[in-house]
Structure 1
Amino acid sequence: MDIKNHDPRLLSYQHGSPSVAQVELKDLHTVAERGFAATDRYGTSIVVIDEDAEARLRKKIDKMIIPIISALYLFCFIDRANLGNAKIVGLQKDLNMTGIYDYNQLASVFYISYILFEIPSGLACKWIGPGWFIPFLTMGFGVMSLAFAYVQNLSQACAVRFLLGIFESGVMPAMTYYLSRWYRRSEFTFRVATFIVMAPVAGAFGGLLASAITSLSNIGELHTWRMIFLVEGIITICLSLLGFAVLTDRPETARWLTQDEKDLATARVKSERIAPVAVLDNFSKNKLWLGFWNPVVLVTSWVFLLDNITVQGLAFFMPTIIANIFPSTSGYTSIHQQLLTVPPYIFGALFTLLLPYLGWKMDKRQIFFIIAAIPVILGFIICLATRNHVAHYVATFIVAATTFSLGPLTNAQAACQVSSDTSRSVAVSVNMFFGNIGGLISTWSYLDWDKPDFLIGNGLNLAASTLILLSSIAALVWMNHDNKKRNGRNVDEELRALAEEQIEDLEWKHPAWRWKP
């Protein structure tokens, strides 16, 4: 492993940067340290890495990080979406929810706190460190799930769901941000998918778990839907304790890596970032602002907002939709209805891994936004064009096939369109902020008085998926056009008058920056 020979002037992003000769002597250890960038001012990597050593390291990181992150997110989504399962086994009756919009109100209060605390939670994650912050959030939403088993009326239920939203608001951006400390851009999308795939898995597993739990004997006064929250809350709390024991903030603090592996893990991530001299940089107002005011991050967040109308709508209303397709009047019990929600989610989980896997191999994301939108459009056209119950059930498979895949794709896209760690913490939080506005909209998309055809909900989702298609095409065209314009910029001339600290703060405004569709 060594450093490519470059003009020393191109390497000096910070006063006191080592010379090329010094770098060649120290190899990756020097690049891994603060004070030295791993790219020249043209954005070209100056690090040569042994591919076999990197492949071994990547497998080791996968084995130590991905399973626990995926398990935590599985129960994050289950604890959020189990409201839909509880609805069809007596929740509304037990809480005296007689108003026509009571359930929608209960579902939406979660997103109010989720939206309010999204960006502050993302900043807190960088300040505290994701290795501690993620298990802390998990402990919090596990306790809230447990508390929901004991609520006695709508007001108490809304209060607990509001608190649940506070804890869950930071989970997805924290996990996405955490993985960005460990993986290259091309690898990143698929790794994000390995935990976000837990959303459709949660839909499937949550239905199975709910049907099993509601068959258990009562514990004291807890029965049916209360048992769902009790059991799932206890499991979540236990997983959070495991998270505290296993997760480590960054490669430098990983006890399960050798020093050479730590240096390699840091250097390979830095080798794709223009100007930063450290993977974990200090806060900067300009970096915070450019993490938000980034044209590709903003349009990606808009796409995620639209997608979440469908994803979260399925989470909260899939059992209700299935119950209308297969009603109790036709002999289907609530357990049958719970079980029938499982197959569409399993089908969706397969594609949630497939599209990001292809994105990993191709190092592309934007084209898959376009691909993912088309089946969703088709599914909702079927829902609106026919009243045939079999066709409606088939449509849930078509919609679930690709709508969940936009979760990892958009989060990875937001993270890949910035350079510094600070901007990345903001970018992924902004993406989730907008995404959960879509989640809030989804809680009012399927209304009881609109069943059994749900013309409003299906029409809204058709409009949203169509806008995803059009917005994604427009963004891809713009990125390619802007990259061509940037090819004509004189990097040396534009950087000559800037101090090294100013160069680090340029982010996507750096003349050597190129959008990565």
Structure 2
Amino acid sequence: MSASDIDTEKQSIHQVEEVALHGHVATDKHGHALIQIDPAAEARLRRKMDIRILPVVALMYLFCFIDRANIGNARVAGLEKDLHLKGYDYNILLTAFYTAYVVFEFPCQMINKAVGPGKTLPIFSFLFGLFTMAMAFVHTFGAAIAVRFLLGIAEGAVFPGIAFYLSRFYRKDELGFRLACYVVCAPAAGAVSGLLASGILKIHSIGWLRQWRMIFLIEGIISMGISIISYFVLADRPEVCSWLTPEEKALAEARIKIDNVGSTVVVDRIHWKAVWAGIFNPVTLASSFIFLFDNTVVQGVGFYLVSIIKSIYPTSSTIRVQLLSVPPYVVGSLTTLATGYFSWKTRNRTLYMMISAPFVMLGFAMYIGSMNPHVRYAAAFMVAVGAFSFGALCTAFSAANVTSDTSRAAALGTTVFMGNVGGLISTWTFLPRHAPRYLPGNAFNLFGSSVMLILSVGVWLWMRKENRAKENGRDDHLLEGKTEEEIADLNQKHPAFRFAY
């Protein structure tokens, strides 16, 4: 490297460090970056963050989802019989979890914002592992409801918290694939949960604990172990990462500010104007309703796929039924990663929403139209291909269309809140009296997946219209007479802001 190249690199580092400072903007009033970022340095930083962060949050969410959905495995392994459940008792048990999840999810997300997700996520993860383990020791229906309710509170912080945590490290277009790397753990959890359950059920007993109780005990202990490790690994934000050099910390902060026009800090204080801007952003609302209907499908699959497969193959053993539930989840995992990757490279999320929704529609149309076991098992694959990718797409979509840390926390909290309303609905979509066809549940999910497609197309058209209006100067007057702080609070109303597809 020549002396002039070294001088240029030093000047570039100095500019990045200056832009990264609190109180400094990284873009001009037109949204153009004030500095040039070295693509090679940015790629090295991104790889470093991928290696350090993604495996930990992926493992955390994997067992979060396993601990949520393993009740489906426990059901076919004797939970209903031992707890003397009858009628709608199983549905009530599921409802207890989602009632707590829905009520406490947004407040927990605000705790993540106020305290810092790097600190709160390990604590909440330890709690959901503890409550999962407690399920192994319940002997009554009432005790099971109480434990599932506590599990819902603890898990309410984790999904939106991880998405919020990653948004502090990754740029908007990078975020979708990184979200997919942990959201993929939802379908992967179904596969792992089925394999774990079938393996655990081969163990005769652990002390007096037998069958389904061992599932909760072992999986809860694993979750607590992962949370303890994560407490010492996850730093709250790039600025305090011990494994980043000072230059890398500055670059990490600068590139996040470049993505958020008008921002003078990466992590702002909670203020209600930014909270409301995140909640009532039209993209947040559209994404939230899409996620509501999608999560009705995804959570319903998690709770009922094993039971549905049992109704398709009634003479199969419990272990074979558990194993038959694995392949659809594997396919769903692969498509989740694929859509996340291509949405990053093409910088487009709505396109893959519009592609994915018809697969879900086709799957439920097959469930409704045929009682042939092979057709219905194939339908499970169609649903998995389309439905599981929306978890990453919807959260990335909401995160990409706000401009401050507070607004992003609120937008993600709203999106995941509505997704959990869908989870609550899912607990009543497949009722015992509707077996084996489950026509009302399948019909509702066909309707919901159709709404997902309509909303995806609609919000894409609306964003195109809004971006054209901004290009034509509609919002330019909003900058007149404003301070830097007031400009930062414009959020998506800033004339240089563009909605990200």
Give TM class, smaller chain.
over 0.9
| Cα distance in 2 for residues equivalent to 1:97 and 1:492 | 63
Task: Give yes or no for the alignment of 1:56 onto 2:40.
Answer: no
| Cα distance in 1 for residues equivalent to 2:47 and 2:176 | 16
Which residue is 2:175 aligned to?
Answer: 188
Which residue is 1:298 aligned to?
Answer: 285
Q: Match for 2:85 among 88, 97, 100? A: 97
Which residue is 1:500 aligned to?
Answer: 484
Counterpart residue identity of residue 83, structure 2: L
Task: Give yes or no for the alignment of 1:409 onto 2:393.
Answer: yes
Which residue is 2:191 aligned to?
Answer: 204
Counterpart residue identity of residue 480, structure 2: R
| Cα distance in 2 for residues equivalent to 1:429 and 1:122 | 6
Which residue is 1:222 aligned to?
Answer: 209
Which residue is 1:27 aligned to?
Answer: 15
| Cα distance in 2 for residues equivalent to 1:476 and 1:511 | 19
| Cα distance in 2 for residues equivalent to 1:90 and 1:211 | 13
Q: CA deviation digits over 1:474-509, x for unaligned, max 9?
A: 111111111111222266533122222211111111
| Cα distance in 2 for residues equivalent to 1:53 and 1:486 | 33
Q: Match for 2:165 among 178, 181, 198? A: 178
| Cα distance in 2 for residues equivalent to 1:395 and 1:181 | 38
Count of aligned positions: 491
Q: How does 1:337-486 map to 2 (within 5 A)?
A: 337-486=321-470
Q: CA deviation digits over 1:443-462, x for unaligned, max 9?
A: 00001110111101111110
Which residue is 1:80 aligned to?
Answer: 68
Counterpart residue identity of residue 59, structure 1: R
CA gap 1:87/1:490 in 2 versus in 1, 3 angstroms: closer
Look up the SS of the partner of 2:26 in the other structure. Answer: coil
Task: Give yes or no for the alignment of 1:144 onto 2:128.
Answer: no
Following TM superposition, by how much is the alpha carbon of 1:126 offset from its aligned partner in structure 2, in angstroms?
Answer: 1.0
Following TM superposition, by how much is the alpha carbon of 1:26 offset from its aligned partner in structure 2, in angstroms?
Answer: 3.0
| Cα distance in 2 for residues equivalent to 1:513 and 1:272 | 10
Look up the SS of the partner of 1:489 in the other structure. Answer: coil
Which residue is 2:150 aligned to?
Answer: 163
Which residue is 1:12 aligned to?
Answer: none
Look up the SS of the partner of 1:79 in the other structure. Answer: helix
Q: Match for 1:124 among 111, 115, 127? A: 111
Following TM superposition, by how much is the alpha carbon of 1:293 offset from its aligned partner in structure 2, in angstroms?
Answer: 1.0
Look up the SS of the partner of 2:213 in the other structure. Answer: helix
| Cα distance in 1 for residues equivalent to 2:398 and 2:166 | 13
Most deviating of 495-504 and 27-36: 495-504
Q: Match for 2:55 among 63, 67, 74? A: 67
| Cα distance in 1 for residues equivalent to 2:147 and 2:254 | 44
Look up the SS of the partner of 1:271 in the other structure. Answer: helix
| Cα distance in 1 for residues equivalent to 2:47 and 2:483 | 39
| Cα distance in 1 for residues equivalent to 2:192 and 2:478 | 54
Are the counterparts in 2 of residues 47 and 267 from structure 1 also a CA contact under 8 Å?
no
Are the counterparts in 1 of residues 109 and 413 from structure 2 also a CA contact under 8 Å?
yes
Q: CA deviation digits over 1:306-337, x for unaligned, max 9?
A: 0001000000001100100111xx3x110010
| Cα distance in 2 for residues equivalent to 1:488 and 1:255 | 45
Following TM superposition, by how much is the alpha carbon of 1:368 offset from its aligned partner in structure 2, in angstroms?
Answer: 1.0
Q: Match for 2:308 among 297, 321, 324? A: 321
Which residue is 1:14 aligned to?
Answer: none
| Cα distance in 1 for residues equivalent to 2:61 and 2:270 | 27
Q: Match for 1:509 among 464, 474, 493? A: 493
Are the counterparts in 1 of residues 12 and 36 from structure 2 also a CA contact under 8 Å?
no
| Cα distance in 1 for residues equivalent to 2:377 and 2:35 | 52
Task: Give yes or no for the alignment of 1:277 onto 2:261.
Answer: no
Following TM superposition, by how much is the alpha carbon of 1:290 offset from its aligned partner in structure 2, in angstroms?
Answer: 0.5
Look up the SS of the partner of 1:27 in the other structure. Answer: helix
CA gap 1:24/1:229 in 2 versus in 1, 3 angstroms: closer
Q: CA deviation digits over 1:178-223, x for unaligned, max 9?
A: 1111111111100000000000000000000001111112122211
| Cα distance in 2 for residues equivalent to 1:360 and 1:24 | 26
| Cα distance in 2 for residues equivalent to 1:132 and 1:495 | 37
| Cα distance in 2 for residues equivalent to 1:454 and 1:376 | 16
Q: What TM-score do you get using the length of structure 2 for normalisation?
A: 0.97
Q: CA deviation digits over 1:395-427, x for unaligned, max 9?
A: 101110120000000000011110000000000
Q: What TM-score do you get using the length of structure 1 for normalisation?
A: 0.94
| Cα distance in 2 for residues equivalent to 1:470 and 1:26 | 48
Following TM superposition, by how much is the alpha carbon of 1:387 offset from its aligned partner in structure 2, in angstroms?
Answer: 1.0
Are the counterparts in 2 of residues 42 and 491 from structure 1 also a CA contact under 8 Å?
no
| Cα distance in 1 for residues equivalent to 2:446 and 2:141 | 32
Q: Match for 1:111 among 87, 98, 105? A: 98
Look up the SS of the partner of 2:264 in the other structure. Answer: coil
Are the counterparts in 1 of residues 475 and 493 from structure 2 also a CA contact under 8 Å?
no
Look up the SS of the partner of 1:164 in the other structure. Answer: helix
Look up the SS of the partner of 2:137 in the other structure. Answer: coil
Which residue is 2:4 aligned to?
Answer: none
Are the counterparts in 2 of residues 305 and 436 from structure 1 also a CA contact under 8 Å?
yes
Q: CA deviation digits over 1:345-400, x for unaligned, max 9?
A: 00110001001111000010011111110111011111111110110001101110
Following TM superposition, by how much is the alpha carbon of 1:244 offset from its aligned partner in structure 2, in angstroms?
Answer: 0.5
Which residue is 2:6 aligned to?
Answer: none
Q: Structure 2 stretches of 5 or more lacking a match?
A: 1-10
| Cα distance in 2 for residues equivalent to 1:346 and 1:492 | 49
Which residue is 1:7 aligned to?
Answer: none
Which residue is 2:296 aligned to?
Answer: 309
Counterpart residue identity of residue 357, structure 2: A
Following TM superposition, by how much is the alpha carbon of 1:294 offset from its aligned partner in structure 2, in angstroms?
Answer: 0.6
Q: How does 1:222-261 map to 2 (within 5 A)?
A: 222-261=209-248
Look up the SS of the partner of 2:77 in the other structure. Answer: coil
Most deviating of 429-438 and 498-507: 498-507
Look up the SS of the partner of 1:71 in the other structure. Answer: helix
Counterpart residue identity of residue 516, structure 1: A
Are the counterparts in 2 of residues 84 and 319 from structure 1 also a CA contact under 8 Å?
yes
Q: Structure 1 stretches of 5 or more lacking a match?
A: 1-22
Q: Match for 1:40 among 17, 25, 28? A: 28
